[in-house]
Structures are given as structure tokens and as C-alpha cells.
Amino acid sequence: MRPEIIPEPTLVRLTIYGRCLNDLIEEGATLVASDELAHRAGVNAAQVRKDLSYLGSFGRRGVGYDVRHLSDRIATAMGLTKERGFIIVGAGRLGSALMGYDGFNKKGFRAAAAFDADINKVGQAIGSVTIRDINELSSFVQANGTEIGIITVPASFAQSVADSLVKAGIKAILNFAPIVIKVPAGIRYRQVELSSEMEVLAHYLNSQGD
Amino acid sequence: MRPEIIPEPTLVRLTIYGRCLNDLIEEGATLVASDELAHRAGVNAAQVRKDLSYLGSFGRRGVGYDVRHLSDRIATAMGLTKERGFIIVGAGRLGSALMGYDGFNKKGFRAAAAFDADINKVGQAIGSVTIRDINELSSFVQANGTEIGIITVPASFAQSVADSLVKAGIKAILNFAPIVIKVPAGIRYRQVELSSEMEVLAHYLNSQGD
DNA sequence: ACTTGTGAAGATGTTCACAGCA
DNA sequence: TGCTGTGAACATCTTCACAAGT
């Protein structure tokens, strides 16, 4: 089974499997069975096998999967074989935290620049980069061919920042601002809704029992 | 239609509708139709009506929904009618950013305390709270009846922090550490996978076209 | 004997389409 | 006429269960 497109829930789980496989490599394991991987990823074994089948069939029946090969296969599928630059727009606390987030580096994402509209912040360093004036955003993206833009500005500015990013030629946007943003077809868009996460927990706290 | 349980995708969308309704209130709107709300939330109108039907039927046919009433109804369903304290374990950059995240306050979540294992951080202030020693975690949760714990420690410490939180009596956990955590049944658990978000974008960047 | 790979079944979620009410 | 509320149709996702390979 090898369709051109992989379902999104599968993509998300593949990233989790990828991380579990890294752990297994560090532990010195060379083989892993679907139920071991399932246990580590918090899903069931049939799910793991179905998910992996989207990448081809390279497990060995009666044996399991080769840890290193599977790890490589997932990295390839997730497009992690080359370094990708990203920029962050909005150098507040959240933006600064993401700028130095180690999990991004580990997967080959490199913080290329940070931008802010606040003149007082411009010139300050966060991690290895200097905060730039937001007016330089377009020229920077064009000059560097940056693919991914992360939005961490207040909600009221998020749509216009997204528009600028798109106009500048960015290909994918990860939005942390609490507002649904409209992007043209062809631009990849994902949103992290921090408040929603808490609200869903609150809902469950209220409806006790199950 | 009013089943005891609301599907999780619906819960997440309800939080988005809630935010859109707040915007509408600020704009002075008193009525809203499902397609207007759908447009703002980035979903389709049938989805909005189906989602809202889980809360009962109080729209007016031919007219729409009363903005304020709908907003209240959603807040009630999401358990946002009372203030809830949360604590953050791991006072690094991400933890500090979340500590002061405005979106939480707006929905009635109150930062009650922050904890860290690093002795040098203990005593420092982030926002309105002081960083405490992680050994005080259990007594604090018990004394204050804190319901929600946010984990922003490195992956290698996350499971043991979660165990401590559970033992201390926390009811819900929001985990930002890049590792799947096991919690006993009855504890509400959600995970924000920052790296997964980027990896999914990278996947789509690779498989150009559609 | 053990574990994968996968059709088929089952469960869940989304969209359609229209009856019903203002 | 306009918009909701919702069964029914459709689409998607998950799990089962077992044939097939080692």
C-alpha cells in the first residue's frame, strides 16, 4: 500500500514514531516490533503497522523492523533530509522561547531570523540571531529563500503578518496567534491553539466521571 | 441532540467559536448566522450547526444565534465559568512564556505557581509568581487544590514530573515535553507536540504540488 | 512460533440536503 | 424567504483478524 498522500493523523504519528526510534537507537536497539513501538508511542500495534505501511513494507515477518532503516525512512517521508530555515515574527516571550527550542534544531530546522515591530527590540539578540525590523521581513525571505514562518504576534496583527509572509514568498506558516488565519491555496498552514488545549482540559474537569 | 459526551474535534472547534463570539461581541453584533461564524472559524456552516446542536437548540430559524447567549452557553460547556489555577513545572523559556500567556488569563486560568529543579532559579520571579523548589510541588498542589499542571521540563524528566503531579492530586496535565507520557485512567492528559507541527509542514513542503 | 501487512469490519467524523419553523 | 436542526449519505480513520512470510 503506497498511495501518493499520507493521511494527516498518520503524519503526526510518524513524527512520534521517529522520536521513539531515536530513543531506541540511543538505547542500542537494532530491531523493534510493532507492539514495542506502539507502547512507546501510546497507540496500538495495528495502528503502527498500518501507518508504516504507507511508507512501504520493509518489516520482516517474525522479526520486526530495523530501527535505523525505519528511522531513516520516516525522516525521508517527513522531509527532514535537508536543513530548513525558519523565521519567527513576534519576538515576545513565546517567540523567543521557540527561537531557541531545541526540538526544532534536532530535526534540522534552523532559526534564520526573528522580526518584531517594536523598535526597542530591534537589534537585541535572542540566541544566535538578532531581532530585525519587521520591514526587512520581505527582503530577508526573498534573499534567503526561507520556507517556514512562525507567527507569534498578537491576534490583531496575525493576519497582516501572514499576508506579508505570503507576499514575501514563504511556503508554510505555523501560527501561534489565537485567531484563524486565511492563507491562499498552496500555502501550508498549521495552527497551535494554546488556549484550546486548556479549555478542553477544563471541559473534562467539569464533566467528571468519564 | 444532547448526548452526554461531546466529540473531541467538536470541543476544539467550540473553543474557536467561543473566541469568534467574543470578537463579535466587541464589534457590537447581537446575532450571528452559522455561515458567518463558520467563515470566521474557518469551517463550513453545517459543521457549525452540528457542533452547536450538541449544546442544545437555541438558534432561531430564519434569524441566527444570539451572540451573547451562545457565548455563555459555550463557556459553560467548556467549564470556563469558574477560575481555575494551574501550575507550571519547568521554568525555562517556554515555561516562562506560558506563565504569562494572556490567552490563559482571558479564559479564567490563573497561574498559581511555577516550579523548577534548578536551585539557582528558585526564588526568581516570573510575572506575578515566584519560582519554587520542585520539592514543594506536592504540598502546594495539596494545599491549593490546583487542578491543572503544565509540564515544560526536558523530555527525560517529564514522566517523573507527571508521576509527581498525579501523586500530588492534580487532575489534568498539559504536556509540552517531546515524549508520550503515561498517566492513570481518570487523569486528563493532552500533549502539544511542537516539533510534530514543524515536521508535518516539512512533509508538505517536500511533496510539492498538492 | 512469531510478527508483519492488509483486506474487511467497525467506529467516528463531516457534509449534504431538506423538513420545519420564524 | 431565511436559517436552523438533523437524519441520512458519505468520507475518513481505527481496529480486527488472519493469511503470508521468515
Give the pLDDT of residue A128.
87
B39 touches strand D (CB under 7 A): no
Question: How confident is the model over B175-185, as pLDDT tens digits?
Answer: 999 999 999 99
Buried b (16+ CB within 10 A) or exposed e, A168-202: bebbbbbbbbbbbbebeeebbbebbbbbbbbbbbb
Give the pLDDT of residue A209.
44
CATH class for the domain made up of B84-196: alpha beta
Could you tell me the fold of the domain covering A8-77? Arc Repressor Mutant, subunit A (1.10.10)
**Nearest residue to A189 (alpha-carbon basis) of B16, B18, B191, B198:** B198
Measure the CA–CA gap between A64 and A78, rounded to whole angstroms: 22
Give the pLDDT of residue A3.
56
Q: Which three cell numbers stand for residue A172?
A: 508554510
Mean pLDDT across the stretch B168-180? 98
| Domain ranges in chain B with CATH number 1.10.10.10 | 8-77
Instruction: Using the structure, give the distance in angstroms from the CA atom of B7 to the C1' atom of C12, rounded to a whole number.
Output: 9
Give the pLDDT of residue A208.
60
Question: Which of A55, A148, A159, A195 to mutate to probe the B interface, most B CBs <10 Å?
Answer: A195
Checking if the pLDDT of A140 tops 90, the result is yes
Question: How confident is the model over B11-43, as pLDDT tens digits?
Answer: 999 999 999 999 999 999 999 999 999 999 999
Question: How confident is the model over B115-147, as pLDDT tens digits?
Answer: 999 999 999 999 889 999 999 999 999 999 999
Q: What is the dihedral of CA B134, B138, B144, B146, to 10 degrees?
A: 80
Of the partner residues B16, B77, B101, the one whose CB lies closest to the CB of residue A196: B16
What global pTM score does this model have?
A: 0.96
Question: How confident is the model over A83-116, as pLDDT tens digits?
Answer: 999 999 999 999 999 999 999 999 999 999 999 9
Asked if A200 and B94 come within 8 Å (Cβ–Cβ), the reply is: no
Give the pLDDT of residue B209.
44
Residue of A nearest to B95 (CA): A97
Rama region for B196: left / alpha / beta (φ>0; ψ in -120 to 50; rest): alpha
Instruction: Using the structure, give the distance in angstroms from the CA atom of A10 to the C1' atom of D13, rounded to a whole number.
Output: 10
Instruction: Using the structure, give the distance in angstroms from the CA atom of A57 to the C1' atom of D21, rounded to a whole number.
Output: 12
Give the pLDDT of residue A210.
42
Residue nearest to nucleotide D16 (CA to C1'): A46
| Domain ranges in chain B with CATH number 3.40.50.720 | 84-196
Question: How confident is the model over A165-190, as pLDDT tens digits?
Answer: 999 999 999 999 999 999 999 999 99
Q: Which residue has the higher pLDDT, A174 or A128?
A: A174
